[in-house]
Structure 1
Amino acid sequence: MSQTKKETYFTQLDGIRFVAVALVLFDHWLAEKNVLPLGHLGVTMFFVLSGFLITRILIESKLKDDKIGRSHWFSVKQFIIRRSIRIFPIYFLAIFALYLFDVPPVRDTILWCLAYATNFYIAIHQHWMGTIDHLWSLAVEEQYYLIFPYLILFLPSKHYLKVLTLMILLSIGLRVFFYLQGSNWVIQYVLMPTCLDCFGLGGLMAYYFTFHKEAIFEKLANTWLVLLSFGVYAFSVYYTLHQQSITHLSHQFGTVVLERFVSALFCFFFIAKAVSGYQSFGKSFLENPAISYFGRISYGIYLYHNFIYNFYHTPQTSIVLRVLHKIQRIMPAVSSNVVFELFYYFIITIVVASLSWFLVEKPINHLKKHFTY
């Protein structure tokens, strides 16, 4: 690995990607057996991580543009091309396959899917989309990519802190507005502007890493802050679940407005420490070859997992469930064993995501070397 690669690639972030996608898998596959907001936390972790990586790439591109006298439009073009190469191929292949096999509701919502607007569809109709529920978060990220690069590349760097702070405040303010309006909770959950506190916190991490690494970032990348922020998050989840058990209302001010910010704050410190580098058990886990590999293919894992199995929407006639039931008949000991079922779904998802990685994603990703910043 070259010195440049060492300086720009954060090894432990692949492990963070795996943690994020694993939380989503557990949440979606366990369904009603799980009462913890694991999926929410996993998606938030992805958003904060994206905020860090994308902001850092854009800041470095701007600094290079300024240094060599290059137009920032060059960096805009390179960013769009490289993101498109990474994201679009398997997304559109998946949509094409779902359309071809008439998997509901893809044919009825094909234009929303193709336009990366499934989150708008969910917000407008105020209901989820079955097997393709999870595409809303990919839509949020894509919409964020369409706007944010221009803020970083064309604004003076002295304004970055104000912009990122404003993003966080705007996001929380919008969630408060929707809550006071009595809007359906799903609206504030899936819209891109109401997710900006996650991206903004990730952006702050990139800002401090780039401009104030020793003075501020290294102080933020502190194990005690990770533990403290997790404690605050855990308490907020406990308090929310306790209130729900008393009021029987599933979506209160805590869940609608505060949960995302509190979880994003924990993700901020959790990821910052990984950027700096965990030691001992954290290092062993996040840098484990298997965990790192799962992290590298996490985009495919996330994209495909809902098609492998969805508690609410997968028919009993699906080949995945037919094979599972046959195994359970042959091996009664694993019948109704939740751990075995999760392992079974996970293995199938890893196989599918691995095929996608080696046959489609990795070969296409090699094209990115022609579009360096």
Structure 2
Amino acid sequence: MTPSSTASPASPLLYRPTLNGLRAIAVWLVVLGHWTRLPFPVGEMGRITFFVLSGYLISGIIWKQQVHPGAPAGWGRRLRTFYARRVLRILPPYYLALALGAALPLATLHEYPGWFVLPFSNVLFYRLQHWGEGVGHYWTMAVDEQFYLVWPLLLGLLGRRVGAFLVVAMAGLLFRIGWSAWVTPHFVLVLLPACLDMFATGAILRITEHHPRVQALARGHWVLLAWAVWVVIWGLTHLIGPEQQEIWLLTYTSLGSVAGFLTLAWVLRAPDADYTPRTGFLLHPALQWVGRRSYGCYLYHLLLPVFLQRAVFRLFPATQANGLAWREFWLGPLPTVLVLTPLLLAMAAASWAWLEAPLERWKNRFDYARA
């Protein structure tokens, strides 16, 4: 596939309900991956999909609203509007989650509050070389916020050239390899440059989604094949030995970006009004409900296991007969999922009803100035 270097998005960004269904599946892959601690990285499938989706959506907004340097007059004002809308959508629910974590209390939040208040928790985890209890997932939000800061500038520099974004995607892979070889391979994946391949892949999809070759690849069987290859490579690298596992850690986001690209192309290809067997399941009311509240699900999902663990340890002291056995039972994967799922859905619903939905209405008052 070699689309024209001057190709541009063929249609404005529209509200796509199928993307809500995809968000629901992606966020619960992450949640279940963290709660059950499966040996297979099911949560990474959700994370990669989210980052590719961010690249697609944010690139589309920046191009459509002309909020990048070099756009027609007034782009600076429109850029401020872009950031105001992002801040209203993301930061108030995030700060509320931080406040709940501090009240729990979570030691890492108390010891390093500034790293979480500002979007640099990913750098903190890199410096510490370990995750904080109940807050390890916030590194992805820090990366997303850093991405929002640099992406308008990068899009203004690169234009809408597929080749330029392929170079950016390759730069992400080369950064991981070079940093791992010359500095350290540990926690390199939490740094923004290491995630550029996923964001760039989303931008490429925004440019090429209507290209005939992309449309031809936007089929369910190609999506399944791409993820199957990803799974097979994971299996082979983990069966052979530790050195091959390091190769996996350096390359799996690039490989997953291809699968994420095809997944989104497949979802975007179908008209939302068509409840077809191909993608119509994404319009199911349950998935739509969860998809709208996916941000809340993500924010709170690692706080709840900490709460459960502390409750179980208090209810079943080690000195009590069968106390250790009861602890092991209630903290097992299945009881954890059964107990925490309704709690997480209730918290996400409350966050949506009382905070996110009102903020969404307020955010929409910030209109972009006409170019």
The residue aligned with 2:18 is 12
> Quick one: which amino acid aligns to residue 218 of structure 2?
A
CA distance in structure 2 between the partners assigned to 1:58 and 1:222 by the alignment: 28
Deviations 1:308-367 (A, max 9, x none): 115xxx5643389959xxxxx9xx9xx667445313211110000100110111111101
> Quick one: which amino acid aligns to residue 24 of structure 2?
F
Contact map agreement 2:56 2:203 (CA 8 A) in 1: yes
**Following TM superposition, by how much is the alpha carbon of 1:273 offset from its aligned partner in structure 2, in angstroms?**
0.6
Deviations 1:143-187 (A, max 9, x none): 0100001222x34735x324311210110001111232361431x
Contact map agreement 1:308 1:345 (CA 8 A) in 2: yes
| CA RMSD between the two structures | 2.9
Are 1:54 and 2:58 matched, yes or no?
A: yes
Contact map agreement 2:69 2:152 (CA 8 A) in 1: no
Mark the CA change 1:251 to 1:64 in structure 2 (over 3 Å): closer, same or farther: closer
**Following TM superposition, by how much is the alpha carbon of 1:250 offset from its aligned partner in structure 2, in angstroms?**
8.0
Are 1:169 and 2:163 matched, yes or no?
A: no
Q: How many pairs does the alignment contain?
A: 344
The residue aligned with 1:28 is 34
The residue aligned with 1:346 is 341
Contact map agreement 2:67 2:78 (CA 8 A) in 1: no
Mark the CA change 1:250 to 1:119 in structure 2 (over 3 Å): closer, same or farther: farther
Deviations 1:94-115 (A, max 9, x none): 2223334432111101010111
The residue aligned with 2:180 is 179
The residue aligned with 2:227 is 230
Contact map agreement 1:61 1:75 (CA 8 A) in 2: yes
Q: How much identity, in percent, do the aligned residues show?
A: 26
SS of 2:29's partner is helix
Q: Give the one of 300, 304, 310 matched to 1:304.
A: 300
Contact map agreement 1:309 1:320 (CA 8 A) in 2: no
The residue aligned with 1:326 is none
Question: 275-284 or 52-61: which moved more?
Answer: 275-284
Question: 268-277 or 172-181: which moved more?
Answer: 172-181
Q: TM-score, normalised by structure 1?
A: 0.84
SS of 2:277's partner is helix
Contact map agreement 1:119 1:191 (CA 8 A) in 2: yes
CA distance in structure 1 between the partners assigned to 2:355 and 2:214 by the alignment: 37
**Following TM superposition, by how much is the alpha carbon of 1:204 offset from its aligned partner in structure 2, in angstroms?**
0.4
Specify every segment of 5 or more residues in structure 1 that has no aligned partner in the other structure, as ranges.
324-328
Mark the CA change 1:19 to 1:315 in structure 2 (over 3 Å): closer, same or farther: closer
CA distance in structure 1 between the partners assigned to 2:75 and 2:266 by the alignment: 31
CA distance in structure 2 between the partners assigned to 1:156 and 1:139 by the alignment: 24
Contact map agreement 1:62 1:75 (CA 8 A) in 2: yes
User: Which segments of structure 1 move beyond 4 Å, counting only runs of 4 or more?
Assistant: 63-67, 319-323, 335-338
